[in-house]
A and B are shown apart, each in its own frame.
Chain A
Amino acid sequence: MSYKFDESQPIYLQLIEIFKTYIANGAWKAGEKIESVRNLALDFAVNPNTVQRALVELENIGLAYSQRTTGRFITQNQEKINNLKHEMAENKTRDFVIQMQAIDIEQREILDLVQRCLDSEEITNQQENH
């Protein structure tokens, strides 16, 4: 796999976001063992210490935990995972609304746009392909 990083941002921050997405969408399931640092480094073609730094941050925010002998796991706390999903959704929504306001779109129109977008075939197809 070859992942395209934004070079102007620290890689470890981008890895944290990727890992959070994996946890939110269930690619990494609650209680599941996380791949080794080396394998993740190879998958993303990044420095192993950078992966380590991102995983430690996941631990710090309670999304993962380490067991001394067996490795690192995703939290089993489903509430934490749900909170993460809500938090990510809220952040993305806020970004979206700010962008809409920046081009002077009114509240009514934003809501209409979202509804139309949800109804459109394009989005439905994308979800099916996912």
Chain B
Amino acid sequence: MSTILINNLCKRYGKFQAINNLSLELDSGQIVGLVGPNGSGKSSLLRIIGAFDMAYSGEVLINGLKPGLESRKIVSYLSDKPYISDNLRAEQIIKLYDDFFPDFNKDKAFRMLDLFKLKSEQKLVEMSKGMGEKVQVLLTMSREAKIYILDEPISGVDPASRKIILRSMIEGFSEDALMIVSTHLLNDIENIIDSVIFLDSGQIKIKGSTDDLREQHGKGINELFEQIFQ
């Protein structure tokens, strides 16, 4: 059974076709980069996989399950928009996650809080945008999930924190886990992903192993991306 199986997926917002008849099969044990220009359908696709958007047509199976409450138990999803109450302190949010998700690793969350040099008593509302994003990332990575969906985890944070996030992705990686990370900062992640999916106008333009693509085209993934989307 594929970890993620998608057949003929379509998603519209009014007249705008965000995802256009997309089919995709992904297995565990890999880190997949999802890239594409703004509006290419990256976030729409990830929201559907994360069961945060049920209004689509086509078939989507997450570990054999239709996206919903059951599938969410095995999917750790980092949204591009925060959805936690601003008035909570970092430690309260971690407690909340620990209560809510059986696969949550509280020690890891506090360890990452330290690595990011964040204070556990600080409220989210008092944090800068980048700090808030780090909290989101540590919450997502502290679950021992089967699927990690990271929608733009590194775009808003400083280079030092970017490194910590990339490290946490390598550490969090396991044979049984599938990690999908969307970004437009391909340079930073191209060495840590197994394969890459180039999305354009809601369709897959290129999909392949990063090392195979390097060999085939004789150039880096970022360069290839720039060439294709010029």
Listed in ascending order, the chain A residues whose CB lies under 8 Å from chain B are: 5, 7-13, 38, 41-42, 44-50, 53
Which listed residue, B29, B30, B214, touches A9 by the CB 8 Å rule?
Answer: B214
A5's nearest neighbour on chain B, judged by CB, is: B191
A-contacting residues, B147-181, CB 8 Å: 163, 166-167, 170-171, 173
- Which residue of the partner chain, among B163, B167, B191, B220, contacts A47 with CB atoms under 8 Å? B191
Q: Pull 16 A–B residue pairs with CB atoms less than 8 Å apart, ordered by A.
A: A7-B219, A8-B219, A8-B220, A8-B223, A10-B214, A11-B210, A38-B173, A42-B170, A45-B170, A46-B191, A47-B31, A47-B173, A49-B29, A49-B30, A50-B191, A53-B211
Cα distance A7–B170 in the bound complex, in angstroms: 19
Partner pick for B211 among A11, A41, A42, A44, CB 8 A cutoff: A11
Chain B residues within 8 Å of A8, by CB: 214, 218-220, 223
Whole-angstrom distance between the alpha carbons of A44 and B194 in the complex?
A: 15
Q: A38-B171, A42-B167 are in contact. Are A7 and B192 (CB under 8 A)?
A: no
Sort A-B residue pairs by CB-CB distance and give the 5 closest, nearest first: A7-B220, A10-B211, A46-B191, A8-B219, A10-B214
How many whole Å from B30's CB to the nearest CB in chain A? 7
Residues of B within 8 Å of A53, CB to CB, are 211
Q: Are B219 and A47 in contact (CB under 8 A)?
A: no
Q: Which B residues touch A48, using CB under 8 A?
A: 170, 173
Any A CB within 8 A of the CB of B78: no
* B21 beta carbon closer than 8 Å to chain A: no
Report, as a range, how many residues of chain B touch the other chain: 20 to 34
| CB within 8 Å: A-B pair count | 60
Residues of A within 8 Å of B194, CB to CB, are 47, 49-50
A107 to B106, CA, bound (A): 67
- Is B103 at the interface (CB under 8 A from chain A)? no
* CB proximity to A under 8 Å, residues B91-147: none
Q: How far is the CA of A12 from the CA of B163 in the complex (A)?
A: 21
A11 and B191 contacting across the interface, CB-CB below 8 Å? yes
Q: Is B190 an interface residue (CB 8 A)?
A: yes
- Interface-centre pick from A7, A46, A50 (highest chain B CB count, 10 A): A7
Please measure, in the bound complex, the distance between the C-alpha atom of A5 and the C-alpha atom of B190, giving whole angstroms.
Answer: 11
Nearest Cβ distance between residue B187 and chain A, in whole angstroms? 9
The residue on B at minimum CB distance from A3 is B191
Which residue of A is nearest B219, CB measured? A8
A8 to B173, CA, bound (A): 25
Question: Counting CB contacts under 8 A, is B23 at the interface?
Answer: no
**Are A45 and B191 interface neighbours, CB within 8 A?**
yes
- Smallest Cβ distance from B200 to chain A, in angstroms? 22
Which of these, B167, B193, B215, contacts A10 with CB under 8 Å? B215
Which residues of the other chain, B, contact A12 by a CB distance below 8 angstroms? 211
Chain B residues whose CB sits within 8 angstroms of the CB of A47 once the complex forms: 31, 170, 173, 191-194, 210
Q: How far is the CB of B188 from chain A (nearest CB, A)?
A: 10
Q: CB distance A7 to B211 under 8 Å?
A: no
How long is the Cα–Cα vector from A53 to B29 in the complex, in angstroms? 13
Smallest CB gap from B163: residue in A: A45
Taken together as a complex, chains A and B put the C-alpha atoms of A9 and B191 apart, in Å, by 11
